[in-house]
């Protein structure tokens, strides 16, 4: 983090982090308050949907604090502060939230118990592996090492995409008509939003560094996290509501 950010860039990133703290906290409370309105079989999905945004809320709070501590404003210009910005919070967050995102998607589909355990374990395991393989590359000094871990990390990613696209299609066909377009939207949103992360990872490997790249990277990760967690969560909530209604559930 030796980039010399402009004051505008520093504030932009700072405001994005604060915005995300508010979004994640609000999303968590929304999912947990509205949990009582879905039928009991979908409540675990709502609990976990809120857990994902809650964990992200916690980490964005840490990220915000770390960003503030990493820079000092001296005479209106941004200078390196006492500590360096801790990017690892993102990986710690993903290690927890990315497997949980897979679990909430499987839970809201309400498959048989056996199928739920099998598919959730498979997708959550792959997701954890994907993040665990990405981190050594993120902190690697050598470009070759970073690229090698990117390739390794892409293997579970491709298997996840394949499972979401092909492996789940038969289970999606069994969803009630009212919920089908939303379940598909959740699958495709996952694939598209998750593509952003490996692309951004490649930035420093192809020479994109400095304050502009840093600003784009922080803002981009933030938007991707909001889409992949909060917007995805709203889709899960809508699926749970539609299916509850289709199954004749009356909220009390």
- 43 token code pair: 């409540």
CB nearer to its own copies: pick between 28 and 153 = 28
Contact 219, 13 (CB under 8 A): yes
CB nearer to its own copies: pick between 90 and 187 = 90
CA distance between the termini of the chain: 53
Q: Which long-range contacts (CB under 8 A, 24 or more apart) does 73-78 make?
A: 73/7, 73/10, 76/7, 77/7, 78/4, 78/5, 78/6, 78/7, 78/9, 78/10
Residue whose C-alpha is closest to residue 78's, from 28, 12, 150, 6: 6
Under the binding rule (CB under 8 A), the answer on residue 11 touching its own copies is yes
Smallest separation, CB 166 to its own copies (Å): 29
Smallest separation, CB 28 to its own copies (Å): 9
- Which range touches its own copies (CB under 8 A), out of 87-95, 156-164, 196-204, 208-216? 87-95
- Which range touches its own copies (CB under 8 A), out of 45-53, 126-134, 163-171, 185-193? 45-53
Under the binding rule (CB under 8 A), the answer on residue 67 touching its own copies is no
Q: Can you say whether the dihedral through the CA atoms of 206, 211, 213, 217 is positive or negative?
A: positive
Under the binding rule (CB under 8 A), the answer on residue 234 touching its own copies is no
CB nearer to its own copies: pick between 17 and 221 = 17
CB nearer to its own copies: pick between 19 and 203 = 19
DSSP 77: E
| Biggest CA pair distance of the chain | 64
List of residues contacting its own copies (CB under 8 A): 11, 15, 18-19, 21-23, 25-26, 29-30, 32-37, 40, 43-44, 47-48, 50-51, 54-55, 58-59, 62, 73, 82-84, 86, 88-89, 92-93, 95-96, 250-252
């Amino acid at each position: 983090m030796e980039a010399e950010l402009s004051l505008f860039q520093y504030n932009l990133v700072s405001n994005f982090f604060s915005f995300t703290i508010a979004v994640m906290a609000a999303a968590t409370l929304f999912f947990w308050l509205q949990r009582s309105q879905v039928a009991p079989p979908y409540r675990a999905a709502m609990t976990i949907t809120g857990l994902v945004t809650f964990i992200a809320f916690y980490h964005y709070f840490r990220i915000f604090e770390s960003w503030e501590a990493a820079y000092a404003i001296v005479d209106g210009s941004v200078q390196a502060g006492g500590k360096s910005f801790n990017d690892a919070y993102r990986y710690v967050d993903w290690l927890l939230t990315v497997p949980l995102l897979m679990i909430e998607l499987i839970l809201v589909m309400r498959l048989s118990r056996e199928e739920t355990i099998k598919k959730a374990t498979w997708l959550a395991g792959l997701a954890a592996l994907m993040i665990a393989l990405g981190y050594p590359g993120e902190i690697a000094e050598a470009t070759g090492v970073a690229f090698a871990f990117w390739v390794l990390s892409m293997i579970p990613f491709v298997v996840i995409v394949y499972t979401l696209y092909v492996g789940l299609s038969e289970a999606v066909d069994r969803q009630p008509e009212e919920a089908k377009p939303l379940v598909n939207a959740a699958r495709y949103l996952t694939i598209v939003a998750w593509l952003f992360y490996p692309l951004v990872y490649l930035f420093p490997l192809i020479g994109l560094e400095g304050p502009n790249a840093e600003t784009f990277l922080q803002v981009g990760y933030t938007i991707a996290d909001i889409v992949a967690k909060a917007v995805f969560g709203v889709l899960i909530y809508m699926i749970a509501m539609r299916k509850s209604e289709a199954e004749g559930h009356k909220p009390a």
